[in-house]
Structure 1
């Protein structure tokens, strides 16, 4: 697998940040967002037999579950749906070895398991109050949509997303700093999250021709590839799991 020298060098020199999405966890967890939607939807359907959860998004079902129950019931139910005993993929291990900074929207605990597997000290930032813990001298896992082992941290409803810039301002500042000052590698991530898109757009406006090129690993069609290129994100057509392992090898990280 041929990987651009600039990306390999950035990883080798610890000048890169990994942005990981659900695609990197699929094989280990065994399901995605639609499974979570269906499990919540079936709970609602028990009280409302005419409820058509299959026509709704995950976010919409979370909104409606919250209205019919309460916030605690929602986040506890969501956390219970995420298995916490899964073995990390080789790609997770490669990621925690290769990147000092990992940003993820995933709720699962696979990165944490990978850190423990290699006996690497790390810290998790999953709520705005955690932002002061960030350190350039440590391995940092920024779980910007919360973590399953801290149910109250989960970001799931429309209100959560709409208020995110206010409720997670300090955490967003850390993410913005990482994205602005490092080569960014998106893996298993659809690049559709509103907050991340806004950050990237802001960085492009501020730095203009000095904006660092970012990379996105995945199988995107031609139109999506052109769209990402217009945002200075180069697509790497490769399997996410295989790519991270190979990147670690080419960067000479053991």
Structure 2
């Protein structure tokens, strides 16, 4: 079981934590056919099966240059075919929510950021909250209106959703275009990283947005509070983690990936209990939110 930092528990309890849920969270879901959502790499490899001349794609995937590989695949398949595959995999597959989604929801974080194209957590949160959750993406012009606190729950789809495939951030070109067209959105992310603690769940250290955002902030602003990221033990070499820790100010929380990452799900359930205890024992009596 993960030993959660008291500082993190306190920050979540005070609703000063932004939770980022990546593909690893969606992997807990399953549909009626027993299928789980593809990761970025799995989806690109599946798409490449329909391409005859794919030596370049295989080389890019081997180097984990997923952005460029996606550009090449999209061009070879054509935009319409690629979009249909995105929607078939991430919108029409009928994935159901899992226990991990309820634990994340029960942490009562004011802001959830999801780079996932699927809507698994979005649908769960909307249904559980009777439709009161606000969902915005990188193209939204009024996201800042929902950052003022209170009881608002905001979900930010940082790469877009499969139900609006024309606006997905998936390729290297998409990333470059988004940073130019949606400057305000990236300023909002930067502001959140300066004022909130981020907890990354099911994310990787190689996400382009994560690396650029936190490296920019670290070198521009110097000493800042640490953020947190859960990772399966041994997934990333310790030397790489040391560099990421210094350049991105992220503390890594390792756990066992055995039995379908069960330790992470169980630990999040334990975190919910600890956060609720803090809110009851500390905040209610002192009223110091």
TM-score, structure 1 as length reference = 0.86
Q: 2:251 aligns with which of 218, 226, 234?
A: 234
Matched residues in 2 for 1:96 and 1:237: separation? 22
1:67 and 2:86 matched: no
1:143 and 2:157 matched: yes
**Partner SS state of residue 28, structure 1:** coil
Matched residues in 1 for 2:116 and 2:186: separation? 16
Root-mean-square deviation (Å):
2.3
**Partner SS state of residue 125, structure 1:** strand
Matched residues in 1 for 2:14 and 2:213: separation? 24
**Partner SS state of residue 216, structure 1:** strand
Contiguous gaps of at least 5 residues in structure 2: 31-35, 256-262, 280-289
> Does the Cα contact within 8 Å between 2:91 and 2:163 map onto a contact in 1?
no
> Does the Cα contact within 8 Å between 2:15 and 2:110 map onto a contact in 1?
yes
1:35 and 2:59 matched: no
Matched residues in 2 for 1:82 and 1:37: separation? 13
Question: Superposition pairs for residues 1-254 of structure 1, below 5 Å?
Answer: 1=1, 2-28=3-29, 30=36, 31-45=38-52, 50-52=53-55, 53-57=57-61, 58-68=66-76, 70-84=78-92, 85-98=94-107, 99-119=109-129, 121-128=132-139, 130-134=140-144, 135-136=146-147, 137=149, 138-209=152-223, 211-219=224-232, 220-231=236-247, 232-238=249-255, 239-252=263-276
Matched residues in 2 for 1:68 and 1:203: separation? 37
Matched residues in 2 for 1:213 and 1:51: separation? 41
Matched residues in 2 for 1:190 and 1:213: separation? 17
Deviation at 1:202, TM superposition (A): 2.4
Matched residues in 2 for 1:192 and 1:119: separation? 33
**Partner SS state of residue 27, structure 1:** coil
> Does the Cα contact within 8 Å between 1:72 and 1:152 map onto a contact in 2?
no
TM-score, structure 2 as length reference = 0.77
The CA deviation string for residues 115-156 of structure 1, in whole angstroms up to 9 with x for no partner, is 03422521222232x141340242111111111111112112
The CA deviation string for residues 145-192 of structure 1, in whole angstroms up to 9 with x for no partner, is 111111112112221122231122122122111111001111111122
Matched residues in 2 for 1:10 and 1:243: separation? 17
Q: Decide which moves more: 19-28 or 78-87.
A: 78-87
Distance 1:195 1:34, change over 3 A: closer
